[in-house]
Structure 1
Amino acid sequence: MPPRSGPAVIAAALALLAGCAYTGGDIGNPFYRKVQWFSFVEAGDIAAACVPGSPERFRLVYNALWDQQVRIYEWDSAARTLKASVRRSGNVARITLDDPLSPWRTDEADIPLDQAAYDGLAAALGEAGAFGPPAVGLELPSHSYYWTAASCRQGKYVFTAWAYPSDAYQAARFPAALAALDPARDGIIQPGPVPVDPFRNYDRQRGATGEFTLKVGPNGLY
């Protein structure tokens, strides 16, 4: 997979992660997520299976400041079930003896999609440009708000994104359409100004935050 940009201190780590293709493992597991996240976001697995006549598949990711909340929405034309997952900041109070990784796992819900809901999501994505030319060059810092969308529709794979704040982000209807279907909608962190944190800025200058930046390419991520 192509290289991604990020702080110099984690350049070697990013190079390692770039070689770890997502093949359908449990992305809710923090170990899988750590090494396969970039591939999961750009949906290399969807791209590889996207041929004329294949089922439609969609994977959307909402980044609401990486260390606070990430939400994932996946669905396809075969199962007609919306899988909604959310990863929050790790709360060690949730650790259990049975599952010591529980604070860092995702919470998941499966929501049946009727025809109207399915068509509504596709229409909202289409209006937002999800099936057209990708936003090549758009940078997506982890400590920011953005949506990404990977899809296989009519045998064509497309990956694109919307960064906040922007006119394209504000005009997109699909976030509201997904929220209306999400049983955990009350917990969605809404986009807004990123708080100024002098300690984080100092750590960022030293390359000690572990932050990273994704960049939209012509066929996935750079």
Structure 2
Amino acid sequence: MAFGGLAAAALAGCSSVGPTDNLVARKLTWISYLNGDDLRAACTKGEGTDRYRLVFNADYNKHVRAYDVMGDRSTGGAVVEARVLEAADITRIDLNDPAAVARGPVDRVQLTPRQFAIFVLKLYESGAFNPAPSGMRLPSNGVYWLVNGCRRGNWFFNAYPYPSDRFADVRFDGPLRELDHTGVPFPPLPRLAQPNLDGAPRTLPTGGRIDSAGPLFEVEVGRDGLVGPTAPFGRWLFAGGG
């Protein structure tokens, strides 16, 4: 019974409950977090507040930015929580908090009703509320935006791989850059080969499952979320796998 209880607790912990600074929990729930499982579970018409999540992946093992946006019904504005996750630099380790270097900076900013309205408009102009392009596969060492959330009780999910017209037509990155006070600049976009027919660049090295920085994996986009189970570990399609 004790083992069963521990196993159940471990599995329950593999479903994302939102952004976290716990490194182990973040790795176990990353696919669930990407899929917005916690936001989807709370998305009910007529209840709750609007929630948005935007993740910029510029090689999972090197640079990821995550933005969680929560609307405030009382003011008409919102709160943006920005996180930057980068490859750990051992020269920056604080012996009083060794894990801080891997957590990355976190910044919170309050949006006025006008700023929030502009942000939502830019999502609309980027096609975020349209159906996602099913079948797209996003490699962990590639570059892409993935967005999801709950707007007026309606769930939405979309993806923007680089290089592609979808990525080039993104309009929400401007407001996010202006609101981002983490102090960490966006990395320059890499020069990549032409994308595949499914719109996602193939940058994973052939025959390898792990590079020097960590594991390589892919996630597949469906019409309204990632394909396959996202908790506990999601559908990780490792490089070289079938």
State which of 167, 186, 207 in structure 2 corresponds to 1:205. 207
**Partner letter of residue 124 of structure 1?**
K
Displacement of 1:74 in angstroms is: 1.0
Structure number having the greater helix percentage: 1
Higher Cα radius of gyration: 2
Q: Which amino acid aligns with 2:20?
A: I
Please list, as runs of the form range in 1=range in 2, the aligned pairs for 1:57-68 lying within 5 A after superposition: 57-68=51-62
Unaligned runs of at least 5 residues, structure 1:
1-15
* 1:51 maps onto 2:44 in alignment: yes
Q: Which residue in 2 is equivalent to 1:80?
A: 78
Q: Which stretch has the larger CA shift, 119-128 or 207-216? A: 207-216
Q: CA deviation at 1:219?
A: 2.8
SS at match of 2:167: helix
Q: Does the 8 Å CA contact 2:52/2:150 hold for their aligned counterparts?
A: yes
TM-score norm. by structure 2 comes to 0.76
Displacement after TM superposition at 1:96 (Å): 2.4
Q: Is the 8 A contact 1:85 1:109 kept in 2?
A: yes
1:50–1:152: 8 Å Cα contact kept in structure 2?
A: yes
Correspondence for 1:133: 131
2:119 counterpart (118, 121, 124): 121
CA contact (8 A) 2:14 2:25 kept: no
Any conservation in 1 of the 2:13–2:25 contact (CA below 8 Å)? no
Q: CA deviation at 1:190?
A: 3.1
Q: CA separation in 1, counterparts of 2:13 and 2:135?
A: 21
Residues 1:220 and 2:225 aligned together: yes
CA shift for structure 1 position 94: 2.2
Contact 1:93 1:103 in 2 (8 A): no
Indicate the SS of the match to 1:45. Answer: helix
Q: Between Structure 1 and Structure 2, how many residues are aligned?
A: 200
Shift of 1:165: 0.6
Q: Equivalent residue for 1:5? A: none
Instruction: List 4+ stretches of structure 1 deviating above 3 A.
Output: 16-19
1:180 alignment partner, SS class: helix
Provide the C-alpha distance between the structure 1 equivalents of 2:23 and 2:53, rounded to a whole number of angstroms: 19
CA distance in 1 between counterparts of 2:192 and 2:99 reads 28
Task: Specify every segment of 5 or more residues in structure 2 that has no aligned partner in the other structure, as ranges.
Answer: 1-9, 194-203, 228-242
SS in 1 for 2:220: strand
Partner-residue secondary structure (3-state), 2:190: coil
Q: Deviation at 1:137?
A: 1.3
- Contact 1:141 1:213 (C-alpha < 8 Å) held by counterparts: yes
User: Percent identity over the alignment?
Assistant: 32
**Worse-superposed segment, 48-57 or 79-88:** 79-88
Taking only aligned residues, the RMSD between alpha carbons, in angstroms, comes to: 2.3
Q: Which amino acid in 2 is paired with 1:113?
A: L
Matched letter for residue 54 of structure 2: L
Q: Relative to structure 1, is the Cα distance of residues 103 and 186 closer, same or farther in structure 2, using a 3 angstrom cutoff?
A: closer
When residues 185 and 96 of structure 1 are mapped into structure 2, their CA distance, relative to the original with a 3 A threshold, is closer
Q: Helix, strand or coil: the match of 1:99?
A: coil
My pick for the range that moved more, 95-104 or 69-78, is 95-104
Offset of residue 109 of structure 1: 0.4
* SS of the residue 2:14 aligns to: coil
